[in-house]
């Protein structure tokens, strides 16, 4: 884990963390505007950022509610998007080594950005600094900009005329793009698009997204039936291969 | 009321999975198949959501200016633009096209 020498200066870790925290924190503005445009009031919009605090789930929820989905279908879509945070937490808990009593407080900050910053650090000290500074700056800014966005949306009236209904899908695309590394991911994405659009006219609002999620196990199953699949860089299998490659983190 | 139910359910569920990751012993979720599925699930959900929120109007498919906005966002992503610029590109192009086409 450790780089040669004494690792990274604290100031450099703080700078990296603030860079991510500020840049992504500002995009809470887009959420505030989108949420208000979807018909949620100020209190509801702010409650989502304070209590849910995982961007994709928040956008998905307000989108599903705006489309007329029932609350549980809408919440299910948001929940399934949030499941990835459990796997971030798993990796982070090994790196952060937090006392059990602190974990319930740290949990709210276990999201894409804090994980990305923390995993990039060379020592436990810098992992902890990176996680805390990213989490704190992002949480504070995300909630502030959510409030500003929601207030601003009410002030400007018709959010569609300002093109703000395009913010949600653009956020999703920006989150999705770095995940499309291999043919498997692209196949899952393609199948999900077909399912999500194809089922839209025939299933109740919110359900087509859940049905599209089935693209993941289906593609995984089909891939598993192909003999070449094991050879094609399934990352988590790497440490088990006999070619002497040390597994490491990635 | 329905909105508050949805918010409550989402908040509880999302917090629970975050905490779960920090609390469970490492071995439980470290199985390759589980990890693989967890990595692919957001890919499927995000792809479906992107497509729906670009092309759907309620339960009908209605291509409009949002599609051009999303194309602009895709170009911005290919140019490795920062997150905010990607979102701004989509918003500006969508608004511009609507203004031009009335």
Of B10, B60, B94, the CB nearest to A57: B10
Task: Give yes or no: residues A122 and A20 share one domain.
Answer: yes
Q: Residues of B with CB below 8 A from A103's CB?
A: 19, 22-23
Q: What is the pLDDT of residues A75-90, one digit of tens each?
A: 999 998 898 898 889 8
The answer to whether residue A239 is domain-embedded is: no
Task: Give yes or no: residues A99 and A204 share one domain.
Answer: no
Q: What is the pLDDT of residues B10-58, one digit of tens each?
A: 999 999 999 998 998 877 777 888 888 888 988 999 999 999 989 988 7
Kind and range of the H or E element at B56? Answer: strand B56-57
How far is Cα B43 from Cα B36, in angstroms, rounded to an integer? 11
* Number of folded domains that form chain A: 2
Query: How many residue pairs bridge chain A and chain B with CB atoms within 8 Å of each other?
Result: 317
Q: Which residue has the tokens 């208000």?
A: A36
The answer to whether residue A107 is domain-embedded is: yes
Q: What is the pLDDT of residues A3-18, one digit of tens each?
A: 434 578 999 899 888 8
Residue B77 has pLDDT above 60, yes or no: yes
The answer to whether residue A202 is domain-embedded is: yes
Q: What is the pLDDT of residues A47-106, one digit of tens each?
A: 999 999 998 899 999 999 998 889 999 999 999 889 889 888 988 988 899 999 999 999
A248: left (phi over 0), alpha (psi -120 to 50) or beta: left
The answer to whether residue A46 is domain-embedded is: yes
B94, closest residue in chain A (CA to CA): A163
Q: What is the pLDDT of residues A20-47, one digit of tens each?
A: 888 788 889 889 999 998 999 999 999 9
Task: Give which of B4, B10, B30, B102 to mutate to test A binding, by max A Cβ within 10 Å.
Answer: B10
The answer to whether residue A240 is domain-embedded is: no
Of A77, A164, A236, the CB nearest to B35: A236
- Judged by CB atoms closer than 8 Å, whether chains meet at B6 and A65 is answered as yes
- Judged by CB atoms closer than 8 Å, whether chains meet at B42 and A169 is answered as no
Q: What is the pLDDT of residue A240?
A: 37
How far is Cα A119 from Cα A127, in angstroms, rounded to an integer? 7
Q: What is the pLDDT of residues A160-218, one digit of tens each?
A: 888 888 988 998 898 899 889 999 999 999 999 999 999 999 988 778 988 999 999 99
Closest chain A C-alpha to B101 CA, distance in angstroms: 11
Task: Give yes or no: residues A76 and A138 share one domain.
Answer: yes
The answer to whether residue A250 is domain-embedded is: no
Of A51, A91, A172, the CB nearest to B50: A172
Closest CA to A62 of B7, B44, B48, B96: B7
Task: Give yes or no: residues A138 and A19 share one domain.
Answer: yes
The answer to whether residue A30 is domain-embedded is: yes
How far is Cα A164 from Cα B91, in angstroms, rounded to an integer? 5
DSSP for A77-126, written as a single string = HHHHHHTHHHHHHHHHHHHH---GGGHHHHGGG-SHHHHHHHHT-SSHHH
* Residue numbers of the domain that contains A78: 10-179
- Judged by CB atoms closer than 8 Å, whether chains meet at B52 and A200 is answered as yes
Q: Which residue has the tokens 């006392």?
A: A99
Task: Give yes or no: residues A211 and A157 share one domain.
Answer: no
Closest CA to A71 of A107, A111, A40: A40
Task: Give yes or no: residues A30 and A123 share one domain.
Answer: yes
Q: What is the pLDDT of residue A196?
A: 95
Q: What is the pLDDT of residue A26?
A: 83
The answer to whether residue A91 is domain-embedded is: yes
What average pLDDT does the segment A207-233 reach? Answer: 80
Closest chain B C-alpha to A5 CA, distance in angstroms: 29
A208, closest residue in chain B (CA to CA): B48
- Listed by number, the residues of chain A in 42-61 with a beta carbon closer than 8 Å to a beta carbon of chain B are 44, 47-48, 51-54, 56-61
Residue A48 near residue A164 (C-beta atoms within 8 A)? no
How far is Cα A95 from Cα A118, in angstroms, rounded to an integer? 8
Task: Give yes or no: residues A174 and A199 share one domain.
Answer: no
Task: Give yes or no: residues A14 and A114 share one domain.
Answer: yes
Give the percent of chain B with pLDDT over 70.
Answer: 98
Task: Give yes or no: residues A113 and A49 share one domain.
Answer: yes
Q: Does A62 contact B at CB distance below 8 Å?
A: no
Residue B40 near residue A235 (C-beta atoms within 8 A)? no
């Amino acid at each position: 884990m450790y780089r040669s020498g004494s690792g990274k200066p604290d100031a450099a870790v703080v700078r990296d963390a603030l860079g991510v925290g500020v840049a992504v924190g500002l995009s809470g503005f887009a959420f505030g505007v989108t949420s208000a445009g979807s018909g949620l009031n100020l209190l509801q919009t702010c409650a989502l950022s304070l209590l849910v605090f995982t961007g994709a789930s928040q956008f998905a929820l307000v989108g599903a509610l705006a489309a007329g989905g029932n609350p549980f279908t809408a919440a299910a879509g948001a929940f399934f998007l949030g499941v990835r945070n459990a796997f971030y937490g798993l990796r982070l808990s090994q790196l952060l080594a937090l006392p059990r009593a602190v974990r319930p407080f740290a949990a709210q900050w276990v999201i894409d950005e804090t994980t990305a910053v923390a995993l990039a650090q060379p020592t436990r000290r810098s992992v902890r600094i990176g996680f805390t500074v990213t989490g704190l700056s992002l949480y504070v800014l995300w909630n502030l900009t959510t409030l500003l966005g929601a207030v601003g949306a009410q002030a400007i009236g018709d959010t569609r005329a300002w093109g703000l209904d395009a913010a949600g899908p653009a956020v999703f695309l920006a989150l999705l793009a770095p995940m499309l590394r291999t043919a498997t991911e692209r196949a899952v994405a393609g199948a999900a698009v077909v399912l999500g659009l194809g089922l839209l006219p025939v299933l109740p609002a919110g359900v087509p997204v859940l049905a599209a999620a089935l693209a993941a196990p289906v593609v995984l199953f089909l891939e598993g039936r192909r003999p070449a699949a094991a050879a094609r860089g399934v990352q988590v299998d790497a440490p088990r291969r006999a070619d002497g490659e040390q597994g490491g983190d990635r | 009321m329905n909105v508050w139910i949805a918010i409550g359910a989402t908040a509880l569920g999302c917090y629970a999975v975050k905490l779960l990751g920090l609390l469970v012993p490492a071995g439980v979720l470290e199985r390759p198949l589980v990890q693989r599925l967890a990595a692919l699930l957001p890919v499927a959900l995000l792809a479906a959501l992107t497509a729906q929120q670009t092309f759907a109007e309620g339960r009908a498919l209605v291509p409009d200016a949002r599609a051009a906005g999303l194309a602009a966002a895709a170009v911005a992503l290919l140019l490795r633009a920062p997150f905010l610029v990607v979102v701004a590109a989509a918003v500006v192009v969508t608004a511009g096209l609507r203004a031009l086409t009335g």
